[in-house]
């Protein structure tokens, strides 16, 4: 009886510990209509909606994640170089100032601006964590611009990861990715990478700006205009972890 109790306690301990490495997030939502420079609300001021996960732990990695998300959103909304932007509220006002300036210059051709940003935790293990930041920004023209940004983090070091830090050899991974990309897009190995109508610069394959971990594997994401027209939409290549494992900086995902 005593031995059974001990085994039960050990099992509970193992199960409990298996969840301790997961970070805790809460969703925060900011929905605001920017104001005129004099502080008054206006009917046609830009609508800005931001929904992102916020890490609630008091830790280095939590601070890194929150800071990275804020910086990304600020870069999306920054339109007024004369305004000092230190936080999301400043960024929203900067976006509005950009609209007001455009409206002053082209009063008859200034449809209302809009920005929506939505972030989600899409992958987490003991070491790595990835947040996908989806955004839609309309600043006039025929249509707005939709994009996705992957933010990767090393939880053990409390740092944000650049793409080149994900792989032991970027050159070897790029060669592997090109072969898989050609297979997916039906581009013959002996033909140009732009053979089917893509628009890689210098007619040479290169990795996208966005690479992230997902539940299905490592995802390579080319946003609209990156290597194809807006009408083609994003081009996505997902590589299973078993295939990518030899190239990853950390082999835990094999």
Domain stop point among 132, 161, 190: 161
Asked whether residue 150 falls in the same domain as residue 170, the answer is: no
Asked whether residue 152 falls in the same domain as residue 187, the answer is: no
CA–CA separation, 158 vs 51, rounded Å? Answer: 23
Average pLDDT over residues 160-175: 96
pTM to 2 decimal places: 0.84
CA–CA separation, 4 vs 189, rounded Å? Answer: 61
Confidence class for position 99, pLDDT limits 50, 70, 90: confident
Q: What CATH number does the domain containing 141 carry?
A: 3.30.565.40
pLDDT of residue 2: 44
Q: Is the pLDDT at 104 greater than 50, yes or no?
A: yes
Do the Cβ atoms of 188 and 212 come closer than 8 Å? Answer: no
Asked whether residue 137 falls in the same domain as residue 183, the answer is: no
The average confidence (pLDDT) of the chain is: 86
DSSP H or E run through 222: strand 217-222
Length of the chain, in residues? 254
DSSP letter (8 states) at residue 77: H
**pLDDT tens, 106-165?**
777 667 789 999 999 999 999 999 999 999 999 887 788 999 999 999 999 999 999 999
Q: Considering the domain boundaries, does residue 14 fall inside one?
A: no
**pLDDT tens, 45-90?**
788 999 999 998 889 999 999 999 999 999 999 987 777 888 998 8
Average pLDDT over residues 234-247: 96
Taking the CA atoms of 50, 51, 53 and 54 in sequence, report the sign of the dihedral they define: positive
Confidence class for position 34, pLDDT limits 50, 70, 90: low
Asked whether residue 43 falls in the same domain as residue 149, the answer is: yes
Spatial CB neighbours of 45, under 8 Å, sequence gap ≥ 6: 33, 34, 35, 36, 96, 99, 112
Asked whether residue 89 falls in the same domain as residue 198, the answer is: no
Q: Considering the domain boundaries, does residue 6 fall inside one?
A: no
**β 159-161/145-154 pair status:** antiparallel
Q: Considering the domain boundaries, does residue 154 fall inside one?
A: yes
pLDDT of residue 109: 64
Higher pLDDT, 60 or 38: 60
Three-state secondary-structure class, residue 73 = helix
DSSP letter (8 states) at residue 20: T
* Full residue range of the structural domain in which residue 180 is found: 164-253
Exposure pattern of 27-66 as b/e (b: 16+ CB <10 Å)?
eeeeebebeeeeeeeeeebbbbebebbebeeeeebbebbb
Average pLDDT over residues 12-26: 60
Three-state secondary-structure class, residue 138 = strand
Q: Is the pLDDT at 169 greater than 80, yes or no?
A: yes
Residue 118 CB neighbour total at 10 angstroms: 17
Centroid of chain to Cα 213: 11
Centroid of chain to Cα 185: 24
Domain stop point among 161, 186, 201: 161
């Amino acid at each position: 009886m005593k031995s059974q109790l001990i085994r039960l306690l050990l099992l509970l301990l193992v199960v409990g510990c298996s969840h301790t490495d997961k970070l805790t997030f809460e969703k925060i939502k900011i929905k605001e209509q920017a104001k005129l420079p004099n502080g008054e609300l206006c009917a046609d001021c830009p609508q800005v909606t931001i929904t992102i996960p916020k890490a609630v732990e008091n830790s280095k990695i939590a601070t890194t994640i929150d800071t990275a998300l804020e910086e990304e959103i600020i870069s999306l909304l920054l339109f007024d170089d004369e305004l000092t932007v230190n936080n999301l509220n400043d960024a929203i006002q900067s976006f509005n100032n950009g609209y007001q300036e455009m409206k002053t210059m082209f009063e008859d051709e200034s449809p209302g601006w809009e920005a929506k940003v939505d972030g989600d935790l899409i992958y987490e293990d003991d070491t790595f964590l990835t947040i996908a930041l989806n955004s839609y920004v309309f600043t006039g023209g025929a249509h707005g611009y939709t994009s996705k940004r992957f933010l990767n983090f090393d939880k053990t070091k409390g740092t944000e990861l650049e793409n080149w830090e994900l792989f032991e050899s970027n050159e070897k991974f790029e060669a592997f990715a090109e072969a898989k990309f050609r297979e997916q897009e039906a581009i013959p190995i002996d033909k140009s990478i732009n053979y089917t109508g893509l628009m890689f610069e210098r007619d040479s394959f290169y990795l996208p700006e966005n690479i992230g971990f997902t539940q299905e594997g490592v995802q390579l994401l080319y946003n609209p205009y990156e290597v194809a027209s807006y009408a083609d939409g994003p081009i996505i290549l997902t590589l299973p972890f078993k295939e990518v494992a030899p190239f990853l900086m950390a082999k835990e995902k094999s």
